[in-house]
């Protein structure tokens, strides 16, 4: 099935985030340069590496980006400083927004990956789905029962 004809089911589409690698890092579906950079793989590779470095330096994987406003402001300032050729032109605010969203998307992907591996789970979480109660209906803990009720 052609990607254009697939049902709109992914979370990234529901939240109007770009879904393809090209659009995440500066190109829309029509391949026009959203950030005003040449559409070359080398430049996108450099930006992606820079965005990953910013994500690792400023963002905490245990927190969603919405809880890290100070860090997002620092990322925004660093982007303006490191890439003045991208952000001193027209639509500066829009371009900065898209770049910060690209950095956040790296964090979202890392959080999804960690969640699927169980790394973001609370260490104090106890799965009670397989706990059996006594025949009398009491659910008292017996330390001699080796962790069962």
Q: What is the value of pTM for the model shown?
A: 0.54
pLDDT single digits (tens) 61-110: 888 878 899 999 999 999 999 888 877 777 788 888 888 888 888 888 88
Distances (CA, A) of 12 to 16, 104, 138: 6, 12, 46
Q: What are the backbone angles phi and psi of residue 64, rounded to the nearest 5°? A: -75, 155
3-state SS, residue 33: strand
- 38-57 confidence digits (pLDDT tens): 566 677 778 888 989 999 99
What tens digit of pLDDT does each residue of 124-144 get? 555 555 555 555 555 555 566
* Higher per-residue pLDDT: 96 or 29: 96
Identify the burial level of 75 via C-beta atoms within 10 angstroms of its C-beta, where 0-12 means exposed, 13-18 middle and 19 or more buried. Answer: buried
């Amino acid at each position: 099935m052609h990607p254009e004809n697939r049902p709109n089911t992914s979370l990234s589409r529901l939240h109007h985030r770009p879904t393809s690698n090209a659009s995440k890092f500066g190109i829309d579906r029509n391949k026009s340069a959203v950030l005003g950079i040449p559409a070359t793989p080398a430049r996108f590779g450099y930006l992606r590496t820079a965005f990953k470095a910013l994500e690792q330096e400023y963002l905490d994987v245990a927190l969603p980006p919405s809880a890290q406003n100070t860090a997002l402001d620092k990322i925004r300032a660093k982007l303006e400083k490191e890439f003045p050729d991208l952000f001193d032109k027209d639509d500066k605010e829009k371009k900065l927004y898209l770049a910060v969203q690209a950095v956040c998307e790296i964090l979202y992907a890392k959080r999804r990956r960690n969640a699927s591996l169980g790394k973001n789970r609370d260490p104090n979480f106890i799965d009670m789905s397989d706990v059996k109660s006594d025949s009398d209906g009491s659910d008292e803990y017996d330390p001699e029962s080796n962790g069962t009720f």
